[in-house]
Amino acid sequence: RQQEAELKLIEEETAKRVEEAILKKVEERLNSDKIKQEIQKRLEEGRRRLNDEVAIQLEKEKEAALLEARQKEEQARKEKEELEKMLEENRKRVEEAQRREALEQQRREEERYRELEELQRQKEEAMKRKKQQEEEERLNQMKLLGKNKLRPNFEVEFYYGLLGVQTQKLGIESLRVKLDWVS
């Protein structure tokens, strides 16, 4: 047992010395210029890779932002076009409604004008008939009153007071009618 304990102690001591030697060797190697340069080189490569990755990531984000901005711009352009199209359609509808209203107004005015023309024509015809009738009556009176060319002139005077008409309302005292016989 003692021998086993000594062997174990020797083993532990050997392991401890080997570990110390390895640590010393590692420390020496780490402190050497070559290793320091290698570590520095790897650190710089790591930084460079990290910078490259960050630059790539930033470029990707920039492209994504540009794409999103283009999509938003395209969407805004489409919405603007749709709005302009709607406004144009509304303008056309309003113009069409105004045109129809103007045509309807023109039709009503033309119809009113035709009605007025018809009324004017009827009035003119009535006046023409009245003149014709008056002329016929005058001719008839002339026929009745004068068959010969020479007839004596005479005057007839009516006194309204004698006929029972209130002369104050009429404002005249008498009416004198002079008839000239005309052939």
Q: Where are the domains of the chain?
A: 148-183
Query: How much is the pLDDT for 147?
Result: 57
Average pLDDT of the segment spanning 44-69: 96
The dihedral region occupied by 171, where left means phi > 0, alpha psi between -120 and 50, and beta the remainder, is left
Q: Please answer whether residues 175 and 160 qualify as being in contact, where contact means their C-beta atoms are separated by less than 8 angstroms.
A: yes
Q: What percent of the chain has pLDDT above 70?
A: 79
Given a cut of 80, is residue 10 above it in pLDDT? yes
Given a cut of 70, is residue 182 above it in pLDDT? no
Distance between CA atoms of residues 70 and 67, nearest Å: 5
Give the model's confidence band at 168: pLDDT under 50 very low, under 70 low, under 90 confident, else very high: very low
Backbone angles phi, psi at 88, to 5 degrees: -65, -45
**CB neighbours of 172 closer than 8 A, spacing ≥ 6?**
160
Q: Please answer whether residues 167 and 161 qualify as being in contact, where contact means their C-beta atoms are separated by less than 8 angstroms.
A: yes
Name the 3-class secondary structure at 104.
helix
Q: What percent of the chain has pLDDT above 90?
A: 58
- Tell me the pTM: 0.38
